[in-house]
Amino acid sequence: MRQVFLDTETTGLSAEQGDRIVEIGCIEMVGRRLSGRTLHHYVNPGRSSHPDALKVHGLTDEFLADKPTFAQIAQELADFIAGAELVIHNAEFDTGFLDAEFERLGHPRVAEVVGAVTDSLLMARELFPGKGNSLDALCKRLEVDNSAREYHGALLDAGLLAEVYVRMTRGQKSLVIDAGDETGGAVALPQLDLSTLILPVIEPSADEEALHEALLADLDKACGGKTLYRALVPA
């Protein structure tokens, strides 16, 4: 399965009111492993960023002045995402900007190019209801290192999103580049016989049992004697 993790930075919040993309970053994953392929461009939007947006991404008019326009990178981007599952945090925002940019050029919309669009923000809200589910909040909750994130950068954020996605979908602990073994074939893993494995049972001390009973008593008091633990665990 081929996935592309995508993020954009923009001049403001409204594509409908003429805001434009100033940066785009894509990272490819195949079979839940990073392939090493990326796409990253700063984009000259032809207009200034809103001051609030500038505080977020730090990309000044002077810096973007000599960068390519979206028209110059549109086909490369379309080819990179073609047929892939596109994973975006708050997908409606980014696809709205991408669709606006593509439509100006007469290109097909994102949904017509990719295989599917997955919104990782909606996934996070289902997994962690009632909690903060920004990319920064998820990095902290899932122990993904985002210490290099002084500004929001599209390629950096796409990489963080890939790490967050793997952990949210209960995959491996961290991402690696899929280099394969030296022969290019599958790596044979040793088979372990676990039938004779005996796990130690550590009995609680008297003090630990007393603390546990005190905790259960507090729970009983708080919920009116409806603590499930006493009903489920035999005395």
Helices marked H in the chain: 51-57, 61-64, 70-81, 91-104, 110-113, 120-127, 135-141, 154-168, 206-223, 228-232
- Tell me: do 140 and 41 sit in the same domain: yes
More confident residue, 179 or 32: 32
Per-residue pLDDT reduced to its tens digit, 81-139: 999 999 999 999 999 999 999 999 999 999 999 999 999 999 999 999 999 999 999 99
Inside any domain, residue 94:
yes
- Tell me: do 158 and 212 sit in the same domain: no
Q: Which of 148, 168, 188 is the last residue of a domain?
A: 168
Inside any domain, residue 125:
yes
Is 152 among the residues known to form the active site? yes
Torsion sign across C-alpha atoms 112, 115, 116, 117: negative
Length of the chain: 235
- Tell me: do 160 and 208 sit in the same domain: no
Per-residue pLDDT reduced to its tens digit, 5-37: 999 999 999 999 999 999 999 999 999 999 999
Q: Pick the closest to residue 38 from 159, 184, 194 (CA basis).
A: 159
As a whole number of angstroms, the distance between CA 147 and CA 130 comes to 25
Q: Which of 168, 193, 222 is the last residue of a domain?
A: 168
Catalytic residue among 57, 89, 107, 152: 152
Are the C-beta atoms of 164 and 139 separated by less than 8 Å? yes
At CA 21, angle to CA 16 and CA 27, rounded to 5? 125
- Tell me: do 164 and 208 sit in the same domain: no
Which DSSP symbol is given to 115? S
Inside any domain, residue 190:
no
Domain assignment of residue 20, given as a range: 2-168
- Whole-number average pLDDT of the chain: 87
Number of folded domains that form the chain: 2
Q: What is the CATH number of the domain that holds 48?
A: 3.30.420.10
Contacts of 34 (CB under 8 A, 6+ apart): 27, 28, 162, 175, 176, 177, 178
Q: Pick the closest to residue 31 from 166, 228, 167 (CA basis).
A: 166
Look up the pTM and report it: 0.72
As a whole number of angstroms, the distance between CA 153 and CA 150 comes to 9
